[in-house]
């Protein structure tokens, strides 16, 4: 049975716990509570972020070569092309320098993006919304233990939000705990050598509500990476993905991608490994390679993804408004899934 067929089978008895109006109220509660908890636990301040950047700035993210930004021109800047952001990983680091933030201080913003090449399904939309955060750290903080401690703070913020939601809407299930199982991508490959990276995540995640897979982007002992990761923002040895196992629909949902960012040395190493040394001519990469930007840790927590999980929704379109293909619309009608 294919993944699509398994998912369809789980929809046969699906009924949303909350109606349309209650869902909107609950989304507001989640976004208010989680953002406040995240700011408190990580010592972050809210910042305004761009919806688009110049295509010559080097600030946009090419998603490891997997995505092409939506571009447009402007009559008042005829010689310049703008790109709608796909992530804010690089912009945030520049912002921290501009604002003069010190180690232990950071920012969080509501990031809205368009990823036009995304394959549409129950978990993926061309519209991306997330809490994008970034924090200045010291050289001593560039360790796996610091990353893992930060992950624990984020999962505690998720659990706190689940508790507040349960109080407001007793019919919803409370997350069992904030505990997170941490495993490296190499350990996963050693456990399940004959399957893909996503299949390894599924097999491991089934035994844990929350799990965190570290070390994504670099080649493993098999000669292949666990999964794609851009070479110019996360340090491939100090990053990871936070995963939630959704028992009701037997699937893994990535809630967050995050990591300690590249240093000047690891930037050069990873650009060379990916054959992208030409990026060193771009303003962002030039400044970073010269040590002109602060050392940071950062990531994004999916707003729609978190709402899906905490509201026990079957489809991301139940918590965000986007454009869907005919097959998605027909499936939603058949199984009484109310797309916004």
Q: Which residues are catalytic?
A: 61, 115, 130, 241, 254, 257
Q: Which of 122, 38, 46 is nearest to 325 (CA)?
A: 122
How far from chain centre, in Å, is Cα 216? 13
Query: How far is residue 236's CA from residue 221's CA, in Å, rounded to a whole number?
Result: 14
109 strand-pairing partners:
132
What does the block give as tokens for 275?
Answer: 């054959």
For helices 303-311 and 20-42, what crossing angle results, to 10°? 120
Helices in the chain by DSSP H: which ranges?
3-10, 20-42, 89-99, 144-168, 185-191, 197-205, 264-273, 283-289, 303-311, 326-334
Residue 115: DSSP 8-state: -
* CB neighbourhood size of 327 (10 A): 11
Cβ-contact 197, 227 below 8 angstroms = yes
First to last CA, the chain: 29
Give the CA-trace dihedral at 87, 93, 97, 103, to 10 degrees: 130
CA distance linking residue 310 with residue 166, whole number of Å: 9
Q: Residue 298: helix, strand or coil by DSSP?
A: strand
10 Å Cβ neighbour count for 36? Answer: 13
For residues 176 and 310, give the distance between their C-alpha atoms in angstroms, rounded to a whole number.
12
């Amino acid at each position: 049975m294919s993944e699509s067929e398994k998912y369809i089978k789980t929809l046969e008895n699906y009924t949303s716990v909350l109606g349309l109006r209650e869902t909107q109220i609950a989304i507001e509660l989640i976004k208010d509570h989680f953002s406040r908890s995240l700011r408190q636990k990580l010592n972050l301040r809210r910042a305004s972020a761009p919806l688009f950047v110049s295509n010559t700035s080097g600030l946009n993210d090419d998603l490891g070569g997997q995505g092409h930004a939506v571009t447009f021109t402007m009559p008042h800047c005829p010689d310049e092309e703008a790109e709608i952001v796909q992530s804010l990983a690089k912009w945030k680091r520049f912002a921290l320098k501009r604002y003069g933030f010190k180690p232990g201080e950071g920012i969080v913003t509501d990031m809205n993006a368009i990823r036009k090449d995304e394959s549409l399904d129950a978990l993926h939309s061309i519209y991306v919304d997330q809490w994008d955060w970034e924090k200045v750290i010291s050289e001593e903080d560039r360790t796996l233990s610091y990353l893992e401690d930060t992950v624990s703070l984020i999962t505690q913020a998720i659990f706190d939000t689940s508790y507040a939601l349960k109080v407001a809407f007793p019919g919803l299930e409370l997350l069992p705990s904030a505990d997170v199982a941490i495993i490296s991508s190499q350990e996963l490959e050693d456990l399940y050598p004959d399957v893909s990276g996503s299949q390894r995540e599924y097999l491991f995640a089934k035994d844990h509500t929350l799990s965190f897979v570290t070390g994504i982007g670099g080649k493993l002992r098999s000669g292949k990476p666990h999964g794609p990761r851009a070479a110019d923002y996360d340090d491939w040895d100090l990053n990871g993905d936070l995963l939630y196992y959704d028992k009701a629909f037997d699937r893994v949902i990535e809630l967050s991608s995050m990591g300690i960012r590249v240093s000047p040395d690891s930037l050069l190493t990873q650009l060379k490994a990916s054959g992208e040394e030409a990026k060193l001519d771009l303003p962002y990469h030039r400044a970073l390679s010269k040590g002109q930007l602060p050392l940071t840790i950062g990531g994004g927590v999916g707003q729609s993804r978190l709402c899906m999980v905490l509201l026990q929704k079957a489809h991301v379109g139940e918590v965000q408004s986007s454009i869907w293909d005919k097959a998605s619309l027909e499936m939603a009608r058949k199984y009484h899934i109310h797309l916004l």
